[in-house]
C-alpha cells in the first residue's frame, strides 16, 4: 500500500462499471440508458456495438470505434485493452476529436469477474490521475437469480462488489419472489441500494453518484459511502439464520471493525498487507475511514481483494465521530480471525 498523498476531489471523470451475469439484462439496461437525454454527457465503453443494437440510434461517426448517439452520449468499443481505450478517450476528449464527456460507463461481459477492471482503475497511475471509480452497478436476473446464486460464484461476487443492485425482469416475477431475492441480495451486500426494474427502465441519476465524492454537495460524503450501520445489522442478522452449506452465498460475510485509537499510517499499511497476504482472495471488498497519527484529516481506503486504491486524505471530518471504521465483505472468512488481527494491531499501536 502506498503512502497517503491523494486528496479526494470531483475533478477527475467518474467511472461506473456495469456488470451482471449472462442474461441478466445489461444490454437492455444499456440500450435504454443510451436513449436517455440525461446521458448526453456520458461516454460508454462496451465490448461490441452490435450486442446493444445501436444502428437506429447512430447520428454520426466520429471514428471507426467511437459513435455519437442521438441522446448525445458517446459509445466506444474496446479495440485493444481497457487501459489503452480509456487513455485514448481522454486524449481525444482533450484535443476535441470527440465531444466532451463528464462521466464514463464500462460494461463487462456476462461471465466477467469485475475485479480485474476495478484493479485496473485503481492501479494504473495515468488512469487514476484522470478518472475515479464512482459505482459498480450490477444487474441481477429476477427470474433465474436463485439458481445462479446457488450454483455459480460469479453472480455472487458481482453482487458483493456492487454499489447499486438492479433486480431485472420485475414484470415476470411476483412480489414474494422479489422480496425473497431482495433479502438474499441484502445478505450478500448489506449497503447497496436495491432497485427492481422492468425493461431497463430506471432514472440514470439513481445509478450514479455512489462514490465517496458527492456531486450534489461537491464534497466527500463519508456516511453515504461507508454505510457502516448496514454492516453492523447484517452481522447481527447472520447469527439468526440457518446456514445452507449448498448455497454459495452462505459463505459470504459482511462486518464492520471500529477503533477509537489513532494509528500510524505505516503501521496500518503493514497490517493491511499482512491481512491481504493471508486472506487476499477472501477479501471481496473493503472500505474504510481512518484516524491516523500522521494527519488530523480522515483518510479513506478502498480495496477489492488484494488490490487497494491509493488512500485519499479528505479535507475534514464530516462530524464529531473520529473513530476509524472499516467495512468488509468476505468469502469463506469469518469476522473473528480478522477482528483478532485488528485488535492485536490496535493494541500494539496504542500510546
Q: Based on the domain organization, do 30 and 129 belong to the same domain?
A: yes
Rounded CA separation 78/46 (Å): 6
Of 350 and 85, more confident: 85
* CATH code assigned at 233: 3.30.1220.10
In 3D space, the residue among 210, 209, 205 whose CA is nearest the CA of residue 226 turns out to be: 210
**DSSP letter (8 states) at residue 263:** B
**Which of these ranges, 52-56, 165-169, 181-185, 248-252, has the smallest mean pLDDT?**
52-56
pLDDT of residue 6: 44
4-13: pLDDT as tens digits: 544 445 578 9
Phi, psi of 209 (to 5 degrees): 75, 35
pLDDT of residue 75: 84
Q: How many domains is the chain built from?
A: 2
242-289: pLDDT as tens digits: 455 456 678 899 999 999 999 999 999 999 999 999 898 899 999 999
State pTM to two decimals: 0.88
As a whole number, mean pLDDT of residues 63-79 equals 78
Q: Based on the domain organization, do 38 and 158 belong to the same domain?
A: yes
Strand 213-214 versus strand 219-220 pairing type? antiparallel
Q: Based on the domain organization, do 267 and 201 belong to the same domain?
A: no
Q: Based on the domain organization, do 145 and 85 belong to the same domain?
A: yes
Of 348 and 238, more confident: 348
Q: Based on the domain organization, do 13 and 148 belong to the same domain?
A: yes
pLDDT beyond 70 at 240: no
53: cell is 443494437
Please give the residue range of the domain that contains residue 239.
Answer: 222-348
Instruction: Among 193, 214, 235, give the residue marking a domain's end.
Output: 214
pLDDT of residue 2: 52
287-320: pLDDT as tens digits: 999 999 989 999 999 998 888 888 888 888 888 9
What is the full DSSP assignment across 272-302? HHHHHHHHGGGEEEEEEEE-BTT-SS-EEEE
pLDDT of residue 7: 46
pLDDT of residue 109: 76
Count CA within 13 A, CB hemisphere, residue 172: 12
pLDDT of residue 169: 97
Q: Is 1 part of any domain?
A: no
pLDDT of residue 5: 47
Amino acid at each position: 500500500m502506498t503512502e497517503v498523498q491523494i486528496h479526494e476531489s470531483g475533478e477527475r471523470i467518474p467511472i461506473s462499471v456495469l456488470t451482471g451475469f449472462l442474461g441478466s439484462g445489461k444490454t437492455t439496461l444499456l440500450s435504454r440508458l443510451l436513449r436517455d437525454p440525461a446521458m448526453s454527457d456520458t461516454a460508454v465503453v462496451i465490448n461490441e456495438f452490435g450486442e446493444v443494437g445501436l444502428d437506429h440510434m447512430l447520428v454520426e461517426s466520429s471514428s471507426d470505434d467511437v459513435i455519437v448517439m442521438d441522446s448525445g452520449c458517446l459509445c466506444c468499443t474496446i479495440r485493444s485493452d481497457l487501459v489503452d481505450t480509456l487513455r485514448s478517450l481522454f486524449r481525444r476528449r482533450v484535443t476535441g476529436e470527440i465531444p466532451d464527456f463528464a462521466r464514463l460507463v464500462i460494461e463487462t461481459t456476462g461471465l466477467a469477474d469485475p475485479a480485474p477492471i476495478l484493479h485496473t482503475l485503481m492501479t494504473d497511475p495515468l488512469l487514476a490521475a484522470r478518472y475515479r471509480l464512482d459505482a459498480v452497478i450490477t444487474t441481477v436476473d429476477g427470474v433465474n437469480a436463485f439458481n445462479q446464486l446457488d450454483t455459480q460464484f460469479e453472480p455472487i461476487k458481482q453482487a458483493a462488489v456492487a454499489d447499486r443492485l438492479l433486480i431485472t425482469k420485475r414484470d415476470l416475477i411476483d412480489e414474494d419472489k422479489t422480496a425473497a431475492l431482495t433479502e438474499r441480495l441484502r445478505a450478500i451486500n448489506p449497503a447497496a441500494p436495491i432497485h427492481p426494474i422492468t425493461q431497463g427502465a430506471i432514472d440514470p441519476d439513481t445509478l450514479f453518484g455512489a462514490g465517496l465524492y458527492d456531486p450534489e454537495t461537491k464534497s466527500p460524503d463519508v456516511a453515504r459511502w461507508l454505510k457502516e450501520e448496514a454492516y453492523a445489522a447484517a452481522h447481527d442478522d447472520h447469527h439468526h439464520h440457518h446456514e445452507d452449506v449448498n448455497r454459495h452465498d452462505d459463505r459470504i460475510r459482511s462486518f464492520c471493525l471500529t477503533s477509537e485509537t489513532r494509528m500510524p499510517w505505516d503501521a496500518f499499511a503493514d497490517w493491511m498487507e499482512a491481512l491481504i497476504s493471508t486472506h487476499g482472495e477472501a477479501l471481496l471488498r473493503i472500505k474504510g475511514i481512518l484516524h491516523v497519527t500522521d494527519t488530523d484529516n480522515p483518510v479513506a481506503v478502498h480495496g477489492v481483494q488484494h488490490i487497494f486504491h491509493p488512500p485519499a486524505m479528505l479535507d475534514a471530518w464530516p462530524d464529531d465521530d473520529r473513530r476509524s471504521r472499516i467495512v468488509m465483505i468476505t468469502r469463506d472468512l469469518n469476522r473473528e480471525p480478522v477482528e483478532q488481527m485488528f485488535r492485536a494491531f490496535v493494541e500494539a499501536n496504542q500510546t
